[in-house]
Amino acid sequence: MWHWLFLTVIFSPLLVLFVLRFYLRKTRWCTSKRRLDGRTAVITGSSGGTGKAIALDLAKRGCKVILACRNPIKAQAAVNEIRKLSSSSNVHFMKLDLASLRSVRYFVKEFESLEDRLDLLINNAGYLGPRSITEDGFERSLAVNYLGHFLLTNLLLPKLKASAPSRIINVSSDAFLKNSCTLDLEDPHYEKNPERYTYYGAYGRSKLAVMLFTAELAKTLDGTRVIPLSVHTGPVKSDLLRSWPGFGGFLLRLVAFLCFRSTTEGAQTPLHAALSDGMDDFTGCFIVDCQVHELPAHAKDKQMAQKLWAWSEAVCDIKVENGTATYA
């Protein structure tokens, strides 16, 4: 009896880990063989993790890839590695800090002076961690995950439209799927109620903003042959959990290491959205495991999407008309 009890205690957690790992790592793969010679892609947050894996795949297809990243040392190391693995010298780094609207504007200005076209914009960078306030007065997860990308995307629309057919891939998450996940534009930065801030709650709220932005962007770009899509990579062992402190953060990173998808596996759905034929019919949609995913009602709230867009224009000090952004 004690023998069987001992075996149960030892092997039950291992069995649970095995089943969890199998479930979380089950991946559909991008099957597109499309070449991208002569095309240009910008990928935010691509010095590591899923963004780096996406950049490597696109470079192997002949695409000119620009890594838009905050850390120059880490980004240049990624550039060197991708060049070596892809046998392509057409991989470059440009500095971009999405927590700073000033940095976003400077990036766009530099990009426009250097590049003639933009075929793919992959908004991948993300933040999940303790509450902090950016130089613009924004809560960091909302700034990095949504507002920085809102401004970046709208300022790059002229290049995307001139290079059409082109695509915008907004990397989201399933963190917004709970009906309890809502946007509060009266207190977007948790200034009135900082005690309500939770790492995953703020992250989910920023990703809900990404979903509503993608849907509204699809309306704005109707008829332009610029296709915006949002995607969920699935659980990936990347650097996203690096800012989660304490023992809880350690446990999450351990589970991620043991059970989550590799960065190559996590890159498959963004690559499918970026490369597959026939995506024009799904503009504004949410892609999960290389398939269109139905959204809950709160992620399809047209009135909230319009309010969010107007609020975002105001705080970013721009006005978007006919798919072109101007400074207000």
Q: What is the pLDDT of residue 6?
A: 46
Higher pLDDT, 89 or 18: 89
Return the CATH class of domain 37-327: alpha beta
Q: What is the pLDDT of residue 243?
A: 63
pLDDT mean over 59-81:
98
Q: What is the pLDDT of residue 176?
A: 76
Q: What is the pLDDT of residue 242?
A: 67
Distance of CA 236 to the CA centre of its chain: 12
pLDDT mean over 306-316:
97
Q: What is the pLDDT of residue 249?
A: 63
Higher pLDDT, 271 or 5: 271
- CB–CB of 318/327 below 8 Å? yes
Q: What is the pLDDT of residue 7?
A: 41
Q: Assign 236 a pLDDT band (cuts: 50, 70, 90).
A: confident
9 pLDDT exceeds 50?
A: no
Q: What is the pLDDT of residue 269?
A: 96
Q: What is the pLDDT of residue 296?
A: 85
- CB–CB of 122/42 below 8 Å? yes
Q: What mean pLDDT is reported for the chain? A: 88
- Pick from 5-14, 87-96, 190-199, 269-278: least confident: 5-14
Higher pLDDT, 20 or 89: 89
Q: What is the pLDDT of residue 20?
A: 45
d(CA 31, CA 28): 9
d(CA 40, CA 117): 7
Condensed to tens digits (0 to 9), the pLDDT of residues 282-307 reads 999 999 999 999 888 888 899 999 99
311 pLDDT exceeds 60?
A: yes
- Local structure of residue 33 (DSSP, 8 states): -
Condensed to tens digits (0 to 9), the pLDDT of residues 110-151 reads 999 999 999 999 999 999 889 999 999 999 999 999 999 999
Domain chopping of the chain, boundaries: 37-327
Catalytic residues: 203
Per-position b or e across 11-43, b if 16+ CB within 10 A of its CB: eeeeeeeeeeeeebbebeebeeeeebeebbbbb
d(CA 16, CA 23): 11
